[in-house]
A and B are shown apart, each in its own frame.
Chain A
């Protein structure tokens, strides 16, 4: 007998003779999500953008944030970030149409994220105010490694794309095909593996900087 048949047989035997209809199981599963407000944390005070920034810059997440009026101001914000840290004006830019369409004069751009890339500039699909998380989908214009190889991870997020809770991301994407990778990024890479002390930049980025446009 195959392992599959053996395992399913044992599961069936252990679960007893009663078998629920798929529709009954699904209804039960849905009921377990009812009254979501009673099982999730409250958001921070102020607007959704303010609540998001408060989580993002809290000591536990420890990212930095700045606000700009419109997306058009993003290249200037990136330039200023590099200058303030004495970084050369060279960035790996996510091959995404709207990002590419911005005026990047004064910055040297490349597509491919190098193994020791200093700075990668990307845009997030959504932000989540509850946790200060950014959501990325993998795809033809969105390599996963862009979020993990660089030392500085600079992210553009539109204020209108900030969702209140984690479940709102599930609701926002319901019915759409799921990408190969969904990456929820909450701060820079960190480890507490040596004597419990938090050190940033373990394998992934050491710095996460989020630029929020609009709102």
Chain B
């Protein structure tokens, strides 16, 4: 079904620059992004304004996450113990491949034909859609946006609104092609209804449901999922087997800690106070239960998280609760959308995570695609210093020799000249008249060597002489009278 290679491959097949060019050339993408992120930005602002304790709650949320990160071993063992006591089966996966293998093997053991999925970014991270397809299983994505992504054969472009790059006209065409009883009216309501009709019997006829988790509750062994559509519960109640895949950073000590973080997560993601459906799962079907799975599996996934844990300050990224606020407020994301980032996670949080997951050599451009305006850190509900982490990747990329030769040579040359003031001034004295020769009306529109700049905007024409030259000539020195007036 999936038309594109897995996340790691996608980052290497096409260069970042090519993906950016494709995104910028897309005639409808900018409108689609602006609709969703603009909406999200407004709604978050309203929700935060209506919650005067937000800053205090945010500080507390950060401390809760930091506490769990500092005592991760304790909480992993406590969660495992309580989950097993509830009748759940707990599996551990060190890598993405291992996690996907475990899930596929569990599906095989269940002799599953049809598998329903609840949207989970971890599922995307471990390449689950591809692994399930490759195993010959009928995979049914049930989140409306993931359903659209599956029909279109593309990849999620946002962690909360995965199909935000699609316009309603495109969705309509996809549904008409794929649905058994598609909508007749060209309204969004009718399209949503079409998906409802299409997916209803798939929910009820599935053998296995696979979901993620927003939180793992250590003191009960429960997992928590939040959704707005109700697809999670329609997925996980009918089949014989329910598999939860979750990153090991999703732990919280107890239910009230989860509530404290839910207040931040939902406001930051959609601007609501709580998602329509907040569900806690604990173990398999109990005697007498009218629905629910016979088997309940939890796959705890590392996939780079312990490497982040060992790295200060990258460890702070384990606080992330996947709300998407950083991308909704990012000037770069709002120009490009999610696909240009090339990894599972886009936007600022994606630019920090992708080098961990796919390797810095494949993703070093992401840290540079950032203006360092600090907006992401400002809106992050758990105060992750995203700009600092991105600067960290820039430095590491330089240290590891991943920056291109031209840049290394250029900077080397600059360092050589800048450390020799006479040479620097001489160079400047030669360059300024040359540059002025290319200027028309105070702006340089084109000049050899400046192409990367002037392809997108003009370069201001420099002054006739440098500041140092003018200073040396006595220009602009404050007259004694000026001093006296101060």
The chain A residues found within 8 Å of chain B, CB to CB, are: 2-4, 6-8, 10-15, 20, 22, 25-26, 28-29, 32-33, 36, 38-42, 55, 60, 95, 115-116, 130-133, 138-140, 142-145, 147-149, 166-167, 169-170, 178-197, 199, 201-205
The chain B residues found within 8 Å of chain A, CB to CB, are: 32, 35-36, 39-40, 50-53, 56-57, 60, 63-64, 67, 70-74, 76-77, 86, 92-94, 98, 142-145, 148, 161-164, 166-168, 171, 188-189, 191-193, 195-196, 199-201, 203-204, 220, 222, 228-231, 233-234, 237-238, 248, 253-257, 259-260, 262-263, 270-292, 300, 302, 306-307, 309-310, 315
> Cβ of B53 and Cβ of A196 under 8 Å apart?
no
Q: List 6 A-B contacts (CB under 8 A).
A: A11-B72, A36-B256, A130-B273, A169-B255, A180-B283, A181-B292
CB-CB under 8 A for A185 and B276, given A144-B291, A145-B234: yes
CB-CB under 8 A for A195 and B188, given A10-B310, A202-B229: yes
> Cβ of B291 and Cβ of A33 under 8 Å apart?
no
> Cβ of A195 and Cβ of B35 under 8 Å apart?
yes
Q: Which residues of B contact A13 (CB under 8 A)?
A: 310
CB-contact partner of A40 in B57, B191, B288, under 8 A = B57
> Cβ of A7 and Cβ of B302 under 8 Å apart?
yes
> Cβ of B196 and Cβ of A203 under 8 Å apart?
yes
Q: Which residues of A contact B51 (CB under 8 A)?
A: 41
Given known contacts A139-B286, A191-B192, what 12 new A-B pairs fall within 8 Å (CB)? A10-B309, A25-B71, A28-B67, A33-B260, A130-B273, A144-B290, A182-B279, A183-B279, A189-B276, A196-B36, A202-B231, A203-B195
Q: Which residues of B contact A139 (CB under 8 A)?
A: 286, 288-289
> Cβ of B292 and Cβ of A138 under 8 Å apart?
yes
Q: What separation, in Å, do the CA atoms of A83 and B337 have in the docked complex?
A: 48
**8 pairs of A and B residues whose beta carbons are closest in the complex:** A204-B230, A140-B288, A143-B290, A10-B306, A14-B310, A202-B229, A29-B253, A193-B145
CB-contact partner of B263 in A40, A170, A188, under 8 A = A40
The interface centre, meaning the residue of A29, A116, A132 with most chain B CB atoms within 10 A of its CB, is A29
Q: What separation, in Å, do the CA atoms of A60 and B50 have in the docked complex?
A: 13
Q: Which residues of B contact A166 (CB under 8 A)?
A: 256, 259, 262-263
> Cβ of A204 and Cβ of B234 under 8 Å apart?
yes
Q: Which residues of A contact B74 (CB under 8 A)?
A: 20, 22, 25
Q: What separation, in Å, do the CA atoms of A118 and B483 have in the docked complex?
A: 85
CB-CB under 8 A for A203 and B35, given A14-B309, A131-B273, A180-B289: no
Q: Give the nearest-CB partner of B162 in chain A.
A: A193
Q: What separation, in Å, do the CA atoms of A181 and B53 have in the docked complex?
A: 30
Q: Which residues of B contact A14 (CB under 8 A)?
A: 306, 309-310, 315
The interface centre, meaning the residue of A8, A95, A116 with most chain B CB atoms within 10 A of its CB, is A8
Q: Give the nearest-CB partner of A7 in chain B.
A: B302
Q: What separation, in Å, do the CA atoms of A148 and B235 have in the docked complex?
A: 10
The interface centre, meaning the residue of A8, A149, A178, A187 with most chain B CB atoms within 10 A of its CB, is A178
Q: What separation, in Å, do the CA atoms of A170 and B220 have in the docked complex?
A: 12
Q: Which residues of B contact A42 (CB under 8 A)?
A: 52
Q: Which residues of B contact A188 (CB under 8 A)?
A: 276
> Cβ of B288 and Cβ of A15 under 8 Å apart?
no
CB-CB under 8 A for A178 and B228, given A140-B289, A193-B145: no
The interface centre, meaning the residue of B57, B77, B237, B315 with most chain A CB atoms within 10 A of its CB, is B237
CB-contact partner of B200 in A33, A36, A115, A182, under 8 A = A115
Q: Which residues of A contact B302 (CB under 8 A)?
A: 3, 6-7, 10
Q: Which residues of A contact B282 (CB under 8 A)?
A: 178-182
Q: Which residues of A contact B306 (CB under 8 A)?
A: 7, 10-11, 14
Whole-angstrom distance from the CB of B116 to the nearest CB of chain A?
A: 11
> Cβ of B229 and Cβ of A7 under 8 Å apart?
no
Q: What separation, in Å, do the CA atoms of A132 and B193 have in the docked complex?
A: 26
Q: Which residues of B contact A203 (CB under 8 A)?
A: 142, 144, 195-196, 199-200, 203, 229-231, 234
Q: Which residues of B contact A15 (CB under 8 A)?
A: 70-73, 309
Whole-angstrom distance from the CB of B308 to the nearest CB of chain A?
A: 9
Q: Which residues of B contact A7 (CB under 8 A)?
A: 76, 92, 94, 248, 300, 302, 306
> Cβ of B285 and Cβ of A180 under 8 Å apart?
yes
Q: Which residues of A contact B234 (CB under 8 A)?
A: 145, 148-149, 203-204
> Cβ of A187 and Cβ of B262 under 8 Å apart?
no
> Cβ of B279 and Cβ of A181 under 8 Å apart?
yes
> Cβ of A190 and Cβ of B228 under 8 Å apart?
yes
Q: What separation, in Å, do the CA atoms of A187 and B276 have in the docked complex?
A: 6
Q: Give the nearest-CB partner of A137 in chain B.
A: B280
Q: Give the nearest-CB partner of A58 in chain B.
A: B273
Q: Which residues of A contact B307 (CB under 8 A)?
A: 10
CB-CB under 8 A for A145 and B230, given A184-B277, A192-B161: no
Whole-angstrom distance from the CB of B106 to the nearest CB of chain A?
A: 15
> Cβ of A202 and Cβ of B230 under 8 Å apart?
yes
Whole-angstrom distance from the CB of B346 to the nearest CB of chain A?
A: 17
CB-contact partner of A186 in B63, B76, B259, B274, under 8 A = B274
Q: Which residues of A contact B229 (CB under 8 A)?
A: 189-191, 202-204
> Cβ of A8 and Cβ of B76 under 8 Å apart?
yes
Whole-angstrom distance from the CB of B314 to the nearest CB of chain A?
A: 11
> Cβ of B56 and Cβ of A147 under 8 Å apart?
no
> Cβ of A33 and Cβ of B188 under 8 Å apart?
no
Q: What separation, in Å, do the CA atoms of A144 and B292 have in the docked complex?
A: 8
